[in-house]
Structure 1
Amino acid sequence: MKTILRYIIAGIMLFSITSCEKFLDREPISQVTPENFFTSEQNAQSAVMGMYRSMLSPYYYGQTMIIIPEFSANHVNHAASYPEFVEYKENRIRVDNPWTGNLWNAAYATINAANNIISRVAEMPQGSISEEKKSQFIQEAKFVRGLTYFNLVRAFGNIPLVLTPTAEDEDLQVAQSAADKVYEQIIADLKETLNLPDSYANAADTKGRATGTAGKALLAKVYLYHAKTTGDYTEAARLAGEVVGQSGLSLPGAFGSVWTEENTSESIFELQFDEQAINTLASVSNPTASMLFYAAGEEIAGMYEASDKRKDFTVYPGEGENSGRYYIGKYRNYSPAIQNFPVIRLAEILLIHAEAKARADGNVSSAAWNSFKTVRDRAGITTPQVSAFASVAAFVTEVQEEKRREMMFEGEAWFDYCRTGLALTEMMKNANPDYFLYPIPDAQRLVNPLLQQNKGY
């Protein structure tokens, strides 16, 4: 795990030469030292900035967190069929696969950044920071920590639950916590974010930082996943319904606008890439890439109805010398590769509400159906009437398939299909529920003998 200072310094260096409209106020790098860092509100804000900046790493949301689950779902191909990517497509992942290790390390680095803020901002002396900002920064860090632990628990299952900051040279050996225990902590963290402001000074801040709305939306998603254990979908339905009904959020008429524009009315939490922190995935998955890594699977277009407006935007065929290859359409802002990434957007919350509401009510209610229909209406496709769904289970399957089409190439469908078991028949070449989880990286087990390997590896 890396120290928070490394991310803070990197973040400040990058932001100091970036447009003033992109994110937070900057602080000169010369002022940043370990001794004075958490002694002023401005420096605490810089720590928050560094935490968000760590999420842009190519080993986290800048590439790995998105593309690896897409390989697992068999949505993408590597241009050269490298074995480390083929392993995900075949569900035969080696314990020393570098991409699994990259994701683990990057996620825990972000968690450590959040832990530093939670711990050290709370200790800042009176007068050095307002109580309002102290509370806000801690809650923002808990949002990021909750989101990152949610990603880890979905990917690895039982994982170390580290809630205090650690130093780079610290010999940290922590045993895994059961997944249910991790979910309890995620829920506790996210509940504390619900009182965050719903907006900040500008659109980039409002969409690029944790808000009360983002906390509520993420908590609804967490409850949906945790209901696999608890069987209780009530809170997922309630929270998602509140987000859906919130003013200021709406689906733009053009599906692609959330990708071609920044911080739209659909976006709830959106990572802000720029020239100094490029979106690596966008830079290596487009027709003009000097090194093309990732292309869309040829069969993806066949998952959409002919009239579905999402089809041609999401996946498109190459032309000329690129004929015969299909491209990922959602990362079009690649010259330079400053494509923002909407981590949470309204369409997903509508589909979460549709599933959770039907499950909680025990029937396909009009409220559940309307949320489902809203997403399909934007896509320009007809929605079957409520009576067409023979059961809640049949409706849930339709909702999941809709979510797969809607969120193609966003790193979500694999986890969602594993949640309900659909991955066994719809995605996996080696259909074994043991491989819903990725292996604990072997390098981590070598330095921490307390870690137990996941079943099947």
Structure 2
Amino acid sequence: MKTNIKYLFCMLAGLSLSSCDNYLDKVPIDQIGAEQFFNNGVNAQSAVTGAYRTLESSYYYGQAFILIPEFAAGHIRHYLSFPEFLEYTENRIRVDNPWSLNIWTASYTTINATNNIIERVPGIETDITEELRQQLIGEAKFIRALVYFNLVRSWGDVPLVLTPTQSSETAGLRVSRQPAANVYAQVIADLQDAATSLPEAYSTPEQSKGRATSWAAKALLAKVYLYQEDYAQAAQLAEEVIESGRFSLESDYSTIWVNENSNEAIFELQFNEQATNALVGVSNPVGATQFYASDLAYRLFEPTDRRRNFAINTVVDNGDTTFYIGKYRNVSPPTQNVPVLRLAELYLIHAEATARAAGSVSTAAYQSYKAVRDRAGLTTPAVATFTTVARFVEAIQQEKRLEMIFEAETWYDYVRTGLAQEELMQVPNANFYLFPIPQGERDLNPNLTQNAGY
């Protein structure tokens, strides 16, 4: 049964990723259709589990979607300085860069999986309650919103596909790009639905691991509103999550990664021995190391910052110092979870959004900023030293860079605030804020226009 479900989901998602390759070689692709699969609640739940799994692909949070924004931020280097990675650091990305295509394809694979769930679960009549039906649809909408949010942050206008297809390739569908505003509107609508239909927690802690909740939907929605400059909404939702009592800042920063599903985790992807984390095996001192922390990443931290010696795994051998990516150390086996949403980020969202909404650095905004620095063992300048909101926002971005290094956030945040040109980009040109639309997709789909600058 497990093998059949694995195949069925791979087929429904249009999956061409490594987790399903071997099995797809052995089973005819037309053996069963989506209509036959979505015929009971058990299969529907399996489909949702599969949708979560697609996020763990090596082309997505399992490697590529962590690495590429971190290369763009200058935090990572490759051991052979491959051009395909350097292009992101140096802001000269080729339109045929394979990593752009990998992330794009993985994104639409996941979207197609969620579209199948959203469209077909309402028609299931066997082994499903109305509560479960709404929950599964809510989980699918959360996942779809997360992926579209990452797409619109990376490429701006993108195809907005909301119905299931036979393939994950948007090129084959001849779909035009939709304005970013339309994509954001869909993301917000999906998250609002998810926040309403999902539970605050599932029946047991074990069942809650790795699953979207109403709190996860609200946390992501707060982040989306921040990007949309709806600061009042962002502040309100971030405050709701912080004050919910469901989550708390870990006193020891390393606990977030050393222990799975920490008190700080709002939404965390679950890797295991059957679904390993591809990034772990290529970023640690043991194994075939390909990706290292850059010298710049190490220098960003003050010597007294408690985060530095965990986030940057420093190894000295025969007088030579090597910096490794420190947050993904569970290498034997490589089952390191990936926190996608955690409480410290919500504190920093609250700090920025509250200050921007009020037009001043209030005590509430300052305290949220200070809470993150307190955990890091840093002294925070008095609130009076932040004489403008702009100065306070810049300080928050610098803090978020340290707090969330190697979590694929710095590049997008610095683009959002305009700081990328000042601090990250070797070619300070706003045309390069967005990645190029993959040329392989454009060759197949003449309706896909290219971003400016490429």
TM-score, normalising length from structure 1? Answer: 0.91
- Equivalence for 2:11: 6
Q: Does 1:371 align with 2:368?
A: yes
3-state SS of paired residue (1:36): helix
Displacement after TM superposition at 1:14 (Å): 8.2
- Paired residues, what number? 433
- Equivalence for 2:213: 211
Q: In 2, Cα distance between the equivalents of 1:156 and 1:215?
A: 23
- Equivalence for 1:266: 264
- Equivalence for 1:158: 157
- Equivalence for 1:189: 190
Residue pair 1:3, 1:168 contacting (<8 A) in 2 also: no
Q: In 1, Cα distance between the equivalents of 2:389 and 2:113?
A: 42
Displacement after TM superposition at 1:336 (Å): 1.0
- Which whole-Å deviations, capped at 9, do the CAs of 1:145-169 have from their partners, x for residues lacking one? 0000000000000000000000039
Residue pair 1:315, 1:328 contacting (<8 A) in 2 also: yes
Quick one: which amino acid aligns to residue 365 of structure 1?
S
Displacement after TM superposition at 1:130 (Å): 1.0
Residue pair 2:355, 2:389 contacting (<8 A) in 1 also: yes
- Which whole-Å deviations, capped at 9, do the CAs of 1:424-455 have from their partners, x for residues lacking one? 01111111011010000000001111000000
- Equivalence for 2:279: 281
Q: Which moved more, 1:296-305 or 1:349-358?
A: 296-305
Q: In 2, Cα distance between the equivalents of 1:52 and 1:321?
A: 44
Displacement after TM superposition at 1:316 (Å): 2.8
Residue pair 1:7, 1:54 contacting (<8 A) in 2 also: no
Residue pair 1:8, 1:46 contacting (<8 A) in 2 also: no
Aligned pairs (5 A) from 1:302-321: 302-320=299-317
Aligned pairs (5 A) from 1:384-399: 384-399=381-396
Quick one: which amino acid aligns to residue 107 of structure 2?
A
Quick one: which amino acid aligns to residue 275 of structure 1?
E
3-state SS of paired residue (2:194): coil
- Equivalence for 1:345: 342
3-state SS of paired residue (2:266): strand
Q: Does 1:451 align with 2:453?
A: no
Q: In 1, Cα distance between the equivalents of 2:358 and 2:206?
A: 37
Q: Structure 1 stretches of 5 or more lacking a match?
A: 16-31
Q: In 1, Cα distance between the equivalents of 2:236 and 2:280?
A: 35
Q: Structure 2 stretches of 5 or more lacking a match?
A: 1-6, 21-30
The alpha-carbon distance between structure 1 residues 409 and 315, as it changes in their structure 2 partners (threshold 3 A), is same
Displacement after TM superposition at 1:306 (Å): 1.7
Residue pair 1:159, 1:177 contacting (<8 A) in 2 also: yes
Displacement after TM superposition at 1:319 (Å): 2.5
Residue pair 1:250, 1:346 contacting (<8 A) in 2 also: yes
Q: In 1, Cα distance between the equivalents of 2:13 and 2:95?
A: 31
Quick one: which amino acid aligns to residue 79 of structure 2?
A
Quick one: which amino acid aligns to residue 212 of structure 1?
S
Q: In 2, Cα distance between the equivalents of 1:342 and 1:74?
A: 21
Displacement after TM superposition at 1:106 (Å): 0.1
Displacement after TM superposition at 1:317 (Å): 2.1
Q: Does 1:143 align with 2:142?
A: yes
- Which whole-Å deviations, capped at 9, do the CAs of 1:376-407 have from their partners, x for residues lacking one? 11111111111010100000000010000000
Q: In 1, Cα distance between the equivalents of 2:107 and 2:307?
A: 31
Residue pair 2:90, 2:426 contacting (<8 A) in 1 also: yes
Quick one: which amino acid aligns to residue 204 of structure 2?
N
- Equivalence for 2:113: 113
- Which whole-Å deviations, capped at 9, do the CAs of 1:80-135 have from their partners, x for residues lacking one? 1011001111000000000000000000000000000000001223x442111111
Quick one: which amino acid aligns to residue 56 of structure 2?
L
TM-score, normalising length from structure 2? Answer: 0.92
**Which of 224, 238, 258 matches 1:240?**
238
For the aligned residue pairs, the C-alpha RMSD in angstroms reads: 2.1
Residue pair 1:56, 1:271 contacting (<8 A) in 2 also: yes
Displacement after TM superposition at 1:303 (Å): 1.3
Residue pair 1:204, 1:272 contacting (<8 A) in 2 also: no
Aligned pairs (5 A) from 1:212-227: 212-227=214-229
Q: In 1, Cα distance between the equivalents of 2:302 and 2:190?
A: 40
3-state SS of paired residue (1:446): helix
